[in-house]
Structure 1
């Protein structure tokens, strides 16, 4: 019998003394050291028990075949399928590729565990490109030479402050007709004739404090004009971190990172238009793009008559496409998007139909849902709404200007289905002839052939192992099933799919969706403490919808990590409350200037609804854990909702948004910095702490300033609050989740919950 299945029964020995005969009390036996060890290593024990679980496909450039990664004995193998014959062959020599990567990186790379799951073909299929830890790599498939991709140019802190300690990429930009080359000299724009080397200085007003940036030079297709940005530098804030225990030496090292924070002065870019023949200069009137947070690179229309750039206003209340007449320099707003709360800058989409500026396909939430619109690019007015309904466009895959058709992914269109499941569709520009391409009730990732004639549909659910199918695009006809996941051995080892559960949110109408992971030896007659795995960042939704349960993501452990914790005697859940993305605009707007909310009113109602249905779900003992924004939410659970949440493990948290990166925080809390930053601050509200808190931080976190954690520590000490702290020297933002001492951090997290919830 499993140790936790044993029950200790305590009876009153003398009824006269006790007054009444008491009912049995069931006490929970804590896990043994062997059980804890099994839990810590559960992921590596179970990860390679599946077969034929395939990842989304990558097509060869000529569309003759496609490639994907799939699970095999001992790891993963890349396989290529011929589109016509359906014959399967190894995609490349994984042993040679692993050997090359090992030599270049200095780290042992195993052939069945290549450090990437998807790639893109390059050089007409003779090379592949992929990412390892956010860095780009390229490997040839002829001689198996691998190189890390380096990109010339001057880095920018979160895209808004240039690192002036690094020289700009000032190589000459050749005009399309080949007659001129443009570059910057003494902070001014010059052009040089290719044939005789004659130099023409086009600007005179550049200076060190207001310089022309050569990396923004954009020639018109007819070589008559060019646009460039003149830049007033912002404030170069550097975060300083002491690496106390470097690997290669005894003494500490001081590291620094360009790291703009909310409210900092950012680079100010002024678009300037030049006529090369006339040697004339026009500063574009900034009245249409006041106080820019960011301008995109200039892009010329194919006729050379106009140039456009994207504008996001600081504070994220407005986004525009600005179109500039090449001859006059007169600007107009081709599209304007304004919101009372925020325009989600990272989800903007636009497409210039025929690359002429007359019509623009634009994604907008103006009717309360993310949809596509056809905009008159001359006056900014809506010609027609292309998609409409209480569902959201998630991604535009392809636009065919000639056929006036759009292929896109959307979620929430199918009644009665999980509203986060992605499906793929085709629709005409006028909104007619909407065709569904992926009818199966699951989450889909589709990869189309280069000519859009075929597609590989990779679909799954948390309770449906991945299936990959080849289809014909014209009518969705199924050509062949390519792979079908087999989890027989995983199930035999004890894996059970998570339970999907939904309950009404704070408005009494909106469904809140989550997952429930129970112990492998779950006993419905037993009472289990509850642990919530939280990530509540407004930029996405986070509850897994696909089958692969083993990996990690920015919000923390996936299903197997939750299973490992559950097997120690807990029920572990994950929920997407209001304030997250991929639902309606109103659903996400809950987070606006309100990050301390984290969807907790919805989450607590969800917990109570499950407890009302399931007597084993003990909401008198609720813990919570999360990383990054999830770490902030974990701390806030104990600060603002201590009547419900009793124990928290907060990792790498952005506990005070004024200490965190400028981009993410001004997007959700706005600009200028106001009281909403303080209202969500774990520093300013530290004295409210109740319950048991354990904070974990990597000393070299490059995503969230680790000083954010230490400022909470300082405030808690001053408030005379007890807490636990683990600082991992040299640890990065993902310490304990995908890099660093994973087993150690997992054990400490698990022991903390055992010690404080299993009393």
Structure 2
């Protein structure tokens, strides 16, 4: 038998070559694609506006160095502020130091005397440069200092107490021993306003020394009589622990509060109102739902009106309420129910005209849009509508009754719905919305002084960044600088290629990008790797130009792979309510079928993709998803790298699990009596209890593992606790599965420095072994030895 094996062993290399396996990993090329950002320079214009004018200046850096420009939108002009070589020479003649004109170090940059005089500091020296005659003069600090240090009449300060003063200085409030004290500045009479403050239930939570008098985080009303304070009760919240393993001496314990899905005790948020004249607290009916979330909002500076938003723990109902401090009345202005949960990423609202009108964002029609209410909470009209999604408001013009806002999904059929375009719409909703930035790209805008013009920086993953100035009709009035990507392209770097596939339902479009090796050969056969993040609050699909998406997908592709990323149902909240809530109640499985289905379509579409060699990787939610995919479809995925994965969402944070999987108020005999509106400032304490949701975990899938799994965790991760990864490890050991594990000491949820570099290469190695069948890295005793050896061979 052994003789027979040896006889035909020589055929194995030929078989591997013919089947596309046994390829050599191109680590050398992958290394070249790390840290390319320095070759790019500036990619967007940051305007520095001139007071009282729509003019602005900006700094822009390309491979030719840094230049400074002045822009006049009204005239439609842009000009360079100065001759770099000339200015650099004049600065050197004063400082007696050599200067590189391509990188003049200017700080404290400003324009004065009708934009004719440039003021700045360089090499510790202050200068003025007259742009009219190109004369440089040194500004001597002594003369400036003397001007600024003119003695002022000494006034006796009235602020003899430490604390927060009322607008008219009649009262001051200070904190001590976690409680609040009121002092009348007229007669120094002191009143203890609260007595129930304590650690983790404090009116002065930022104070490290509770016995010391501190300035509390309270807010006065304009009437100088009332003020409010927010307080959170964390006394019963469960704790988590991490051990600080790096550093000198003994490892130490890091203890922190952490609420998990279904916890009986969670943070209780409170709003307290006080009447300084009456020297007491005002009763407020703030509490309505058990464990409600509370956010406070105000109108006016100083505060004229007080509001708060309370939201159910189940995240499907909220109310905007107004507080009347004179009586303690709480009035519900807007009540909204949104099943199964509110879109936290896009929801917001704005007060207009001192609270006389309210602009409210809602997904009540299935797409997010803006609605206008009067100050009493009566709906006036929809401001936007249509089969697309309104995003954040960038500017509100109360004079012309217009809003300028981001919008998604306004492109033609088949276009990615994720790109933000700037729109404008009337308060009354008449005439619909007008698109001001029509290009298919992500637009980020900055309005200039006066609001008649804005700077528009736009790009997408496969479109070079561009910057322009537009007027409020969307017309381009000035073309600004664009990046010089010559050096980047010379490395072989190329933009990813966009593609569209169908979800597993055969109907829903999924949008993504593909990265290829620079030596790509369409006649060859490549493994495919999917970079994933399941959402629901975002997706892994890049929306703007980037040299290194994810953990540098472009570099990973150079090892010898086709790398892709695309959305899945249950992902981005930028589309519509159905899409981003698709995974509700199924927090583990919802994106998996779409990822498999999408890869199958790409393999069918492109002959260079090998469907028998499929990898998957992701971080955080992507780490959780990649492990679930490998264990759910063990005959489809070959290898996975899962970093910082929340493999057991029952011990991940309360927001993720309860919002996106669900939590229900218990009913029947086990339910407690439902609360009535509270008649004090304290939250409603007695309420219906909640049913703890059970969230399926990756641990349950461990027995199905067939492929090659690398699990990674930072031991200082206080977001996704390393116990998530260790429980997955324990489950795999108990069912006798082989896998690899990497722990990064001292690393939190985001990997940094040498640990990040080490992790990247370990990921390359893992996929090279199991998708390319290249085990050459096993011979290296140092992580970067392969680079040195490769360099020696080619020199």
Q: TM-score range by the shorter chain?
A: 0.7 to 0.9
Q: Name the structure 1 match of 2:281.
A: 281
Report the equivalent of 2:758: 744
Separation in structure 1 between the aligned mates of residue 59 and residue 648 of structure 2, nearest angstrom: 40
1:682 to 698, 701, 707: 698
The one of 605, 613, 633 equivalent to 1:641 is: 633
Match in the other structure for 1:221: 222
Work out the CA distance in 2 between the residues paired with 1:237 and 1:448.
45
Post-superposition CA distance 1:410-457 (Å, at most 9, x none): 111122332111100111111134332112222211111143222111
Match of 2:429 in 1: 431
Cα 1:562–1:60 shift into 2, 3 Å: farther
CA distance in 2, matches of 1:429, 1:335: 18
Q: Provide the residue aligned with 2:596 in structure 1.
A: 604
Q: Distance in 1 between matches of 2:67 and 2:183?
A: 49
Q: Does 2:679 match 1:693?
A: no
Using a 3 Å threshold, how does the CA distance of structure 1 residues 275 and 250 change in structure 2: closer, same or farther?
Answer: closer
Q: Matches of 2:362 and 2:492 in 1, distance apart?
A: 45
For 1:23 and 1:73, the matched residues in 2 are separated by 44
Choose which of 723, 730, 740 in structure 1 pairs with 2:739. 723
1:464 matches 2:463: yes
Offset of residue 589 of structure 1: 0.3
Q: How far apart are 1:286 and its partner, in Å? A: 3.5
Kept after mapping to 1: 8 A contact 2:70/2:80 = yes
- In the TM superposition, residue 188 of structure 1 has moved relative to its aligned partner by 4.5
Which residue does the alignment assign to 2:673?
Answer: none
- 2:171 aligned with 1:180: yes
Q: Partners of 1:143 and 1:663 in 2: how far apart?
A: 49
1:574 matches 2:574? no
Superposed displacement of residue 575, structure 1: 0.6
Is the Cα contact below 8 Å between 1:40 and 1:743 reproduced in 2? no
Q: Secondary structure at the residue paired with 2:187?
A: coil
Is 1:266 matched up with 2:266?
Answer: yes
Q: 1:141 to 1:363 in 2, by over 3 A?
A: farther
Q: 2-side partners of 1:709 and 1:209: how far apart?
A: 30
| Aligned-residue offset at 1:250 | 5.6
**Shift, 1:745, TM fit:** 1.6
- After TM superposition, give the deviation of residue 625 of structure 1 in Å: 0.5
Contact preservation (8 Å) 2:269, 2:292: no
2:587 maps to what in 1? 595
Distance 2:246 2:177 in 1: 43
User: Superposition pairs for residues 437-452 of structure 1, below 5 Å?
Assistant: 437-452=436-451
1 CA distance for matches of 2:594 and 2:492?
32
Residue 767 of structure 2 is matched in structure 1 by 753
Give, in whole Å, the separation in 2 of the partners of 1:142 and 1:339: 55
Instruction: Deviation per CA, 1:300-334: give whole Å up to 9, x if none.
Output: 56797742112222121222221122222221222
Cα distance 1:715–1:71, how it changes in 2: closer, same or farther (>3 A)? Answer: farther
SS in 2 for 1:344: coil
Q: Distance in 2 between matches of 1:528 and 1:313?
A: 50
Counting only pairs closer than 5 Å after superposition, residues 142-291 of structure 1 correspond to structure 2 as: 172-185=163-176, 187-203=178-194, 212=203, 215=216, 217-229=218-230, 231-246=232-247, 249=248, 251-264=250-263, 265-279=265-279, 281-286=281-286, 289-291=288-290
Using a 3 Å threshold, how does the CA distance of structure 1 residues 426 and 709 change in structure 2: closer, same or farther?
same
Please list, as runs of the form range in 1=range in 2, the aligned pairs for 1:326-405 lying within 5 A after superposition. 326-356=325-355, 358-378=356-376, 380-405=377-402
TM-score (norm 1): 0.79
What is the distance in 1 between the residues matched to 2:361 and 2:373? 10
Aligned-pair Cα RMSD in Å: 3.6
Partner of 1:528: 526
Question: Could you list the per-position Cα deviations for residues 30-80 of structure 1 after superposition, in whole angstroms to 9, with x for gaps in the alignment?
Answer: 225xx3133134223x43444663355564665555466755239x85855
Larger Rg: 2
Residue 732 of structure 2 aligns to a residue in which SS? helix
Note closer, same or farther for the CA distance 1:397–1:234 as it changes in structure 2 (3 Å cut).
Answer: farther
User: Residues 365 and 124 (structure 1 numbering): CA distance in 2 closer, same or farther, change over 3 Å?
Assistant: farther
Deviation digits for residues 163-209 of structure 1 (CA, Å, limit 9, x no counterpart): xxxxxxx9622212221112345554432122332224445666678
1:387 to partner: Cα distance? 0.8
- Preserved contact between residue 54 and residue 71 of structure 1 (Cα < 8 Å): no
Residue 381 and residue 716 in structure 1: after superposition, are their counterparts in 2 closer, same or farther (change >3 A)? farther
> Within 1, Cα distance between the matches of 2:178 and 2:407?
47
3-state SS in 1 of match to 2:361 = strand
Task: Describe the superposition over 1:117-156 as per-residue Cα deviations: whole angstroms up to 9, x where unpaired.
Answer: xxxx999999xxxxxxxxxxxxx987999xxxxxxxxxxx
Closer, same or farther: CA 47–218 of 1 in aligned 2, 3 Å: closer
Instruction: Write the distance in 2 (CA, Å) between the matches of 1:676 and 1:56.
Output: 47
Shift in CA distance, 482/319, structure 1 to aligned 2, threshold 3 Å: same
Cα distance in 2 for partners of 1:122, 1:364 equals 44
Distance 1:658 1:575 in 2: 27
Q: Could you tell me how far 1:587 is from its partner in structure 2? A: 0.1
- The structural deviation recorded for 1:355 is 2.0
Q: Give the superposition deviation at 1:244.
A: 3.0
1:598-653 Cα distance to aligned partner (Å, 9 max, x none): 52222222222222221112222211011111111111111223232221000111
Q: Distance in 1 between the 2:457 and 2:61 partners?
A: 14
Structure-2 separation of matches of 1:175 and 1:252: 47
In 2, Cα distance between the equivalents of 1:439 and 1:728? 45
Quick one: structure 1 residues 708 and 740, their matched pair in 2 at CA, closer, same or farther if it must change by over 3 Å? farther
Residues 75-122 of structure 1: CA distance to partner in whole angstroms, max 9, x if unpaired?
Answer: x858554446633459x9xxxxxxxxxxxxxxxxxx98x9xxxxxx99
Contact 1:634 1:648 in 2 (8 A): yes
Closer/same/farther in 2, CA of residues 71 and 337 from structure 1, 3 Å limit: farther
1:497–1:334 Cα change, 3 Å: same
Instruction: Output one character per residue of 1:447-485: Cα deviation in whole Å (capped at 9) or x when no partner.
Output: 111432221111122222111111222x22322111123
- The change in CA–CA distance for 1:290 and 1:690 in structure 2 (over 3 A counts) is same
Judge conservation of contact 1:270–1:284 (CA < 8 Å) in 2: no
Query: What's the secondary structure of 2:602's corresponding residue?
Result: helix
**SS across alignment from 1:87:** strand
What is residue 622 of structure 2 aligned with on the other side?
A: 630
Contact 1:337 1:343 in 2 (8 A): no
CA contact (8 A) 1:635 1:648 kept: yes
Once the two structures are overlaid, the 10-residue window that deviates more, 324-333 or 663-672, is 663-672
Residue equivalent to 1:667: 659
Q: Does structure 2 retain, via aligned residues, the 8 Å contact 1:580–1:587?
A: yes
Distance in 1 separating the partners of 2:502 and 2:706: 28
Alignment CA distance shift 1:201-1:242 (3 Å): closer
Structure 1 residues 230 and 584 mapped into 2: Cα distance closer, same or farther (>3 Å)? closer
Report if aligned partners of 1:292, 1:311 keep a CA contact under 8 Å in 2: no
**Change in 2 beyond 3 A, CA 1:55/1:315:** farther
Structure 1: gaps of 5 or more residues: 1-12, 93-110, 115-120, 127-139, 146-169
Report which structure shows greater RCO (CA 8 Å, sep ≥6): 2
1:678–1:684: 8 Å Cα contact kept in structure 2?
A: no
Say if 1:566 and 1:479 are closer, same or farther in 2 by CA, change over 3 A: same
Query: SS state of the match for residue 483, structure 1?
Result: coil
Q: Report the 3-state secondary structure (helix = DSSP H, G, I; strand = E; otherwise coil) of the residue aligned with 2:655.
A: helix
Residue 481 of structure 2: SS of its match in structure 1? strand
Shift, 1:723, TM fit:
0.7
Whether contact under 8 Å (2:54, 2:450) holds in the other structure is no
Q: Offset of 1:377 from its aligned partner?
A: 3.6
SS of 2:627 mapped into structure 1: helix
Name the CA distance, whole Å, in 2 between partners of 1:28 and 1:338.
55
CA deviation profile, 1:645-664 (whole Å, cap 9, x unmatched): 22100011121123223333
| Distance (whole Å) between structure 1 residues aligned to residue 387 and residue 293 of structure 2 | 31
Separation in 1 of the partners of 2:493 and 2:122?
A: 42
> Residues 304, 628 of structure 1: CA spacing in aligned structure 2 closer, same or farther, 3 A cutoff?
closer
Secondary structure at the counterpart of residue 343 of structure 1: coil
| Structure-1 residue corresponding to 2:555 | 564
- TM-score relative to the length of structure 2: 0.76
Q: Distance in 2 between matches of 1:38 and 1:449?
A: 44
Name the CA shift for 1:256/1:176 in 2 (closer, same or farther; >3 Å): same
Alignment partners' CA distance in 1, 2:43 and 2:480: 11
SS of residue matched to 2:556: helix
